[in-house]
Amino acid sequence: MGRNARRATNGSAGTRRRPTVADVARRAGVGQATAARVLGDYGSASPEARAAVLRAAGEIGYTANAVARSMISGRTYSVGVVVADVGIPYFAEVVRGISDAASADGLQVVLVNTDESPAAEIAAVSLFVERRMDGLIAVPAEREHEHLDAAAAAGVPVVLLDRLLPGAAFDAIVINNRRAAAEAVQRLLDAGHRRVAILTSAPPGTERLGSAGDIWTTTERVAGYEAAMRAAGVPNAEWIVRHAGYNRQATRAAALQLLTQARRPTAIFTTDSVATLGVLDAVQEVGARIPADVSLIGFDDAEWATLVRPRLTVVRQPTHELGARAARALIRRIADPAARPRRQTLAASLVDRESVGRAPARVRRLAPT
Amino acid sequence: MGRNARRATNGSAGTRRRPTVADVARRAGVGQATAARVLGDYGSASPEARAAVLRAAGEIGYTANAVARSMISGRTYSVGVVVADVGIPYFAEVVRGISDAASADGLQVVLVNTDESPAAEIAAVSLFVERRMDGLIAVPAEREHEHLDAAAAAGVPVVLLDRLLPGAAFDAIVINNRRAAAEAVQRLLDAGHRRVAILTSAPPGTERLGSAGDIWTTTERVAGYEAAMRAAGVPNAEWIVRHAGYNRQATRAAALQLLTQARRPTAIFTTDSVATLGVLDAVQEVGARIPADVSLIGFDDAEWATLVRPRLTVVRQPTHELGARAARALIRRIADPAARPRRQTLAASLVDRESVGRAPARVRRLAPT
DNA sequence: CTGTTAGCGCCTTCAC
DNA sequence: GTGAAGGCGCTAACAG
């Protein structure tokens, strides 16, 4: 095959000091400044000097030391990214968007998962400041933002993604959650449903509050639900708001309870795809038919949304675009730290498919099979 | 709410020089070394000195500069991670595994997506070397590994993930692809199928070769298919090996062609979940029933595998574990660069569900609806 | 225990 | 165009 099968040393040679500009300069017979100029590609040097330096560099295998450069430039060409969990498709796609836009600008992405733990987020942000990241993109776990303020004050610009922080003056890229949620619930109401439930999956530690915790996104979506229900004249007592734990099992259990209770909802709106997954599990468990027994609309257009039968009506978010915009906003902010914070609200759109049907005339009782 | 609503400055103060150990020392009235010792938490200092330094540091808002530290220690406490695309669930989960194990050891993850482009991978690796990463974890896009050898030679240890590189002396974490594939195909064979097809999704640029390109994983899985077919005595002429492009549409098209051709396969084995998605799309498009018309086994246990009807029989990989092991292997290698390269082969397991059935006595002709 | 003094590798005046 | 020298912020010798 003619492939280069030379044995890799896998770092065992790493203890040997790596050549520096001084080494190159010495070997090329020029001053260190000259070597640095051609190696760093700035200033000017005579063609002869340039050639000599390049040759010497090649011979001894010189590689630039970006750490030393960062020390002088003050830039690391990296952005810190804080999300709950890249393992979740939504975040994975957002991170991909960030990565694309960042690398298009020569920035690398340093990724941290917090699992919505404020402590983990605080630690990550402070580490990012110490490491002199050029900037941060965060999906904040809670409303408290002193740590982000501190980062900004220390000269590390911050861009918020997915969630807004009341009272914080950062650039932010979000979608219009309230409107999108209201629109989805309205679709359900239009189909004649009255007992419409909203199921959210709250991060660990907050679900015990019986609320969605401090997650802005969820709060907004619930607000959208309430607005639509109110506008439709559904009495407050008929509203069904449930917060489950942040995983498929927990949402499945919550949905199971919801579906089998007396005066069960005939339609469910889930605020994220983890919850949607849980509801679908529960639906199958009680043998309910969608949309004959229950109608369903979920947030996020998962790859499997068109695979299940019936295909799911969903609220689609521009995930990749959200990430890309956040990165671009950060890049702008790095270039102009003094600019006024700007919020970009992207549109989420309702994608009609087949999981919404007319409310049943007579509500069939559901029970685990 | 009593929340701290102080205005964030978002980096506008970033132009102001950040305090250094020297500043702290001066203010605390101690020598720079003493200040450095308590701030850096090494050596020893008297309780009084310590207190004074800490107080001073707090007053002027000192933050350590990790870049300067890296310059001296030679360590950046970051690992470079090269994958094709975090947007794909498989990689996302693997990255999460890496991140968990890495952060447990104080290492941060710098993530790069290559979309299987060798050029992008080479650029990323060389950047990682310049940035003095403590180590690299790569899902290599092609068999060529000079760039990885160079990284190792420059003292940046490399760990291979998911794919082996013939002739390269790196630690590697992989699964037993060949065996897992053979086992899956065997299950199909056991159900009486003879015309069993294997569908792979090759990265862009390689599918034109009509092969899976240089992706080791795919090659192995095809080898497993062939081994099983051969062992079952299925004549070579009956084997059906198809390589589609690296996306859902391409695999859908390939599957469509497969399902509607004369003497179509009665069972399909897909080598990754993108391909599985494509096949499912095609199956629905031609109105085929699983497993009555076609049986199906796919690689990777996607979250939706139990959601579709029938539930999918799949080959499950320990994705998170693969990533975690890779990170741990790297950590060990960083500690002991001279150790002998070690390969860890994890087991993928066949998860039996309902997408495999007896081969139909009479093969129903399928056509797009 | 503490302070002084050198660098780490590079870029950047500043004279020449 | 080029070289010498200083310094980025920190740690690592050293003496004291």
Contacts of A153 (CB under 8 A, 6+ apart): B8, B9, B11, B13, B61
Average pLDDT along chain B: 92
Question: Which of the four pLDDT bands, split at 50, 70 and 90, describes residue A240?
Answer: very high
CB-count burial class (<10 Å; 0-12, 13-18, 19+) for B24? buried
pLDDT in tens, A99-130: 999 999 999 999 999 999 999 999 999 999 99
Measured CA to C1', the nucleotide nearest B25 is C3
Measured CA to C1', the nucleotide nearest B29 is C3
Residues of chain A with C-beta less than 8 angstroms from the C-beta of B302: 304
**CA atoms of B189 and B317, how far apart (whole Å):** 22
Residue type at A353 in one-letter notation: R
Compute the nearest-CA separation of A280 from chain B (Å): 7
Rounded to a whole number of angstroms, the distance between the first and last alpha carbons of chain B is 60
Measured CA to C1', the nucleotide nearest B72 is C8
Mean pLDDT of B154-179: 97
Whether B152 and A10 lie within 8 Å, measured CB to CB: yes
Residues of chain A with C-beta less than 8 angstroms from the C-beta of B170: 8, 10
What pLDDT, on a 0 to 100 scale, did the predictor assign at position B10? 53
pLDDT in tens, B170-215: 999 999 999 999 999 999 999 999 999 999 987 655 544 445 567 8
- Residue B183 phi, psi (nearest 5): -65, -45
Residue nearest C7 (alpha carbon to C1'): B72
pLDDT above 70 (res A189):
yes
Instruction: Give the nearest partner residue to B155 out of A18, A103, A306, using CB atoms.
Output: A18
Minimum Cα–Cα distance from B340: chain A residue: A10
Measured CA to C1', the nucleotide nearest A72 is D8
Distance, Å, B66 CA → C3 C1': 24
pLDDT in tens, A289-336: 999 999 999 999 999 999 999 999 999 999 999 999 999 999 999 999
Minimum Cα–Cα distance from B16: chain A residue: A155
What pLDDT, on a 0 to 100 scale, did the predictor assign at position A238? 93
What is the tally of helices (H) and strands (E) in chain A? 12, 12
pLDDT in tens, A2-58: 333 333 445 444 456 899 999 999 999 999 999 999 999 888 899 999 999 999 999
Coil/strand/helix, residue A141: coil
CB-count burial class (<10 Å; 0-12, 13-18, 19+) for B360? middle
Question: DSSP letters along A266-292, please?
Answer: SEEEESSHHHHHHHHHHHHHTT--TTT
Residues of chain B with C-beta less than 8 angstroms from the C-beta of A321: none
Strand C bases with any atom < 7 A from protein Cβ: 1-5, 7-13
What pLDDT, on a 0 to 100 scale, did the predictor assign at position A2? 31
**CA atoms of B14 and B29, how far apart (whole Å):** 26
Measured in whole angstroms, the distance separating CA B210 from the mean position of its chain's CA atoms is 24
Residues of chain B with C-beta less than 8 angstroms from the C-beta of A58: none
Which of B263, B317, B289 has its CA nearest to residue B139?
A: B317
Strand D bases with any atom < 7 A from protein Cβ: 1-5, 7-13
What pLDDT, on a 0 to 100 scale, did the predictor assign at position A11? 45
Distance, Å, A21 CA → C9 C1': 8
pLDDT in tens, A138-162: 999 999 999 999 999 999 999 999 9
A38 touches strand C (CB under 7 A): no
pLDDT above 90 (res A206):
no
Coil/strand/helix, residue A297: strand
Both tokens assigned to A179: 């409107």
Which of A296, A310, A302 has its CA nearest to residue A274?
A: A302
Mean pLDDT of B166-172: 95
Q: Percent of chain B beyond pLDDT 70?
A: 93
pLDDT in tens, B97-138: 999 999 999 999 999 999 999 999 999 999 999 999 999 999
Whether A170 and B8 lie within 8 Å, measured CB to CB: yes
